[in-house]
C-alpha cells in the first residue's frame, strides 16, 4: 500500500482516483511497468558496481598459513572423493594433513574436520579457491607463500599448466 497525494492508502495494483491516467486505457499498467523497469535498472547497476555481486576480495596474508604442510608432494588428486561420504561434487583438501572432505553445501565434512582437528587452511577442488576457517576468508593462493605451492600443483593437475604469475 502507498499513499496518494491526499494521504489516502491505495494498493499499488489499483489506479489512484486522482490519477490523471485513470481515463486512458492501459496507462496505469504502463506507469507501473515503468516503475518496475526503473527498479530493475537500479538493481542491475548495483550488480555492475559490485554491490550485489557477492564478489569477495581474497586476503593476501593469513596469520594461520603457518599451519600448512611444508611439502606440496603426494597430494590427493583434484577429483578425489570425500573420505567420509564418498561425494565428489564439492570437495576440499586440508592443507595441513592433505585429507579430502566435502564442503558445507554437501555434508559439511571439511568443516567438521576443522572443528575436530583445528586445521584452518583448505583448498577447494572446484575452483581452486583457498579458505581459512579461522579468518572466515578466502585467501589468494598465488600471493600467500605457504599456500602457493599447493595452489600451483593443483592448477597444474587440473588445467595442465601452472597459473599465470601475477
d(CA 27, CA 9): 20
pLDDT at residue 43 in the model: 56
What rounded mean pLDDT belongs to the chain? Answer: 82
CB 30 within 8 A of CB 19: no
d(CA 26, CA 127): 49
Provide mean pLDDT across the span 138-163.
96
- Provide the residue ranges of all domains of the chain, joining segments of one domain with +: 2-48, 65-159
pLDDT at residue 26 in the model: 66
Question: Whole-structure pTM over 0.85, yes or no?
Answer: no
pLDDT one-digit tens code per residue, 113-128: 999 999 999 999 999 9
pLDDT at residue 129 in the model: 96
pLDDT at residue 108 in the model: 97
Domain 65-159 annotated CATH 1.10.10.10: no
pLDDT one-digit tens code per residue, 34-62: 656 666 556 555 555 444 556 789 999 99
Task: Give the model's confidence band at 87: pLDDT under 50 very low, under 70 low, under 90 confident, else very high.
Answer: very high
d(CA 32, CA 79): 51
Residues 6+ apart with CB under 8 A from 6: 18
pLDDT at residue 106 in the model: 96
30 versus 59: which is more confidently predicted? 59
Amino acid at each position: 500500500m502507498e499513499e496518494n497525494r491526499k494521504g489516502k492508502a491505495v494498493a499499488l495494483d489499483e489506479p489512484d482516483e486522482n490519477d490523471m491516467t485513470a481515463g486512458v486505457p492501459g496507462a496505469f499498467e504502463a506507469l507501473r511497468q515503468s516503475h518496475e523497469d526503473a527498479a530493475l535498472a537500479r538493481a542491475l547497476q548495483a550488480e555492475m558496481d559490485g554491490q550485489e555481486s557477492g564478489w569477495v576480495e581474497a586476503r593476501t596474508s593469513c596469520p594461520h598459513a603457518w599451519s600448512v604442510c611444508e611439502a606440496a608432494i603426494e597430494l590427493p588428486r583434484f577429483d578425489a572423493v570425500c573420505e567420509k561420504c564418498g561425494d565428489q561434487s564439492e570437495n576440499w583438501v586440508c592443507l595441513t594433513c592433505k585429507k579430502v572432505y566435502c564442503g558445507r553445501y554437501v555434508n559439511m565434512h571439511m568443516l567438521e574436520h576443522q572443528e575436530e582437528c583445528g586445521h584452518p587452511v583448505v583448498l577447494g577442488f572446484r575452483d581452486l579457491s583457498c579458505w581459512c576457517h579461522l579468518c572466515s576468508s578466502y585467501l589468494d593462493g598465488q600471493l600467500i607463500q605457504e599456500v602457493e605451492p599447493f595452489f600451483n600443483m593443483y592448477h597444474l593437475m587440473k588445467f595442465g599448466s601452472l597459473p599465470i604469475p601475477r
